[in-house]
Amino acid sequence: MFKIAQFIFTDILKNKVILVYTALLFIISWSVLGLEANQAKANLNLLNIILFVVPLLSLLFSIIYIYNSSQFIELLSTQPIHRNVIWTGIFIGLLGSLVLAFLVGCGLPILIYSSLEYGLSILIGGTLLTVDFVALAMLSAISSKDRAKGIGIAIFIWIFFNIIYDSILLIMMYQFSDYPIEKLMVVLSALSPIGLTRIFVQLELDISNMLGYSGAIFKEIFGTGKGVLISVFILIVWMAIPFLLSLIKFRKKDL
């Protein structure tokens, strides 16, 4: 497993797309953190950009890499290697390289311009978000042999969680504002890894006036410390379920 992961990891690090992705994150982080004197506000601005860029790049790069590596995966499947080992190795290699790119791209500017208190929450949130969307990309790739369809599924996932889902929540909050829907909103907020990452970082920073409706409810019901732990746990679940589903599909798939 780890030999496969190591091969995938080193192969991806040579990819120009990863180098451009790292440089893009570095330039964005450097610009946002360097131009804003207020650390809390600068980190929240950076968070909003990360929530837009990281899921999209993680999804598209992972799914395209898997499709491009289809012959390599088929070759591995003909060897006396269990399919669980193959798929898990690919997953570890993918997430390891993308997480490293994120940590280098955003981590260096954060170390220079931001305090550990503010910056660490951004790095943890972005790492969890990367892992979640790599898992979703692998599920999308194994669900369809058609490259165009698989990439289309990945793009729809990104659009859904970045735009459509938040719009649905806003409509629900407006339409049912006269009813006690606080607990329901907590459950619905947990169904979006992007929204949950935003809540996690905002709770960690403990900025009450910038939490937003869902974050304020999280803080009211769970408190700051418990809310942070619950957010992290659900984000890990968001990684585990898609990956396990993709693993089951890969075991049964006729390559």
pLDDT of residue 217: 64
Which tops the pLDDT comparison, 111 or 180? 111
pLDDT of residue 215: 59
Say whether pLDDT at 248 is over 70.
Answer: yes
pLDDT of residue 176: 73
pLDDT of residue 114: 74
Q: What is the dihedral of CA 104, 29, 160, 189, to 10 degrees?
A: 90
Which tops the pLDDT comparison, 220 or 64? 64
3-state helix, strand, coil in the chain (%, to 5): 85, 0, 15
Average pLDDT over residues 211-228: 63
pLDDT of residue 78: 82
What are the residues whose beta carbons fall under 8 Å from the beta carbon of 127, sequence distance 6 or more? 99, 102, 103
Ordered DSSP codes for 7-38: HHHHHHHT-HHHHHHHHHHHHHHHHHHHH-S-
Average pLDDT over residues 127-136: 94
pLDDT of residue 25: 92
Quick check: 12 and 100 in contact, CB under 8 A? no
- Return the closest-CA partner of residue 177 out of 167, 188, 169: 169
Q: Look up residue 255 and give its two tokens.
A: 């390559």
pLDDT of residue 214: 59
Average pLDDT over residues 112-118: 75
pLDDT of residue 198: 83
Write the pLDDT tens digit of every residue in 161-214: 988 887 887 787 777 767 766 677 777 777 889 888 888 887 776 554 555 555
Say whether pLDDT at 237 is over 70.
Answer: yes
How many Cβ atoms sit within 10 Å of the Cβ of residue 102? 23
Q: How far apart are CA 157 and CA 172, in angstroms?
A: 21
What are the residues whose beta carbons fall under 8 Å from the beta carbon of 20, sequence distance 6 or more? none
Write the pLDDT tens digit of every residue in 153-162: 889 999 999 8
Q: Look up residue 92 and give its two tokens.
A: 């570890």
CA distances to 22, 28, 49, 130 from 92, rounded to whole Å, are 19, 26, 25, 12
Q: Look up residue 194 and give its two tokens.
A: 């992007």
pLDDT of residue 129: 93
Which tops the pLDDT comparison, 121 or 129? 129
Model's pTM, two decimal places? 0.90
Write the pLDDT tens digit of every residue in 16-54: 899 999 999 999 998 888 777 677 778 788 888 899 999
Write the pLDDT tens digit of every residue in 60-101: 999 999 999 888 888 888 888 888 899 999 999 999 999 999
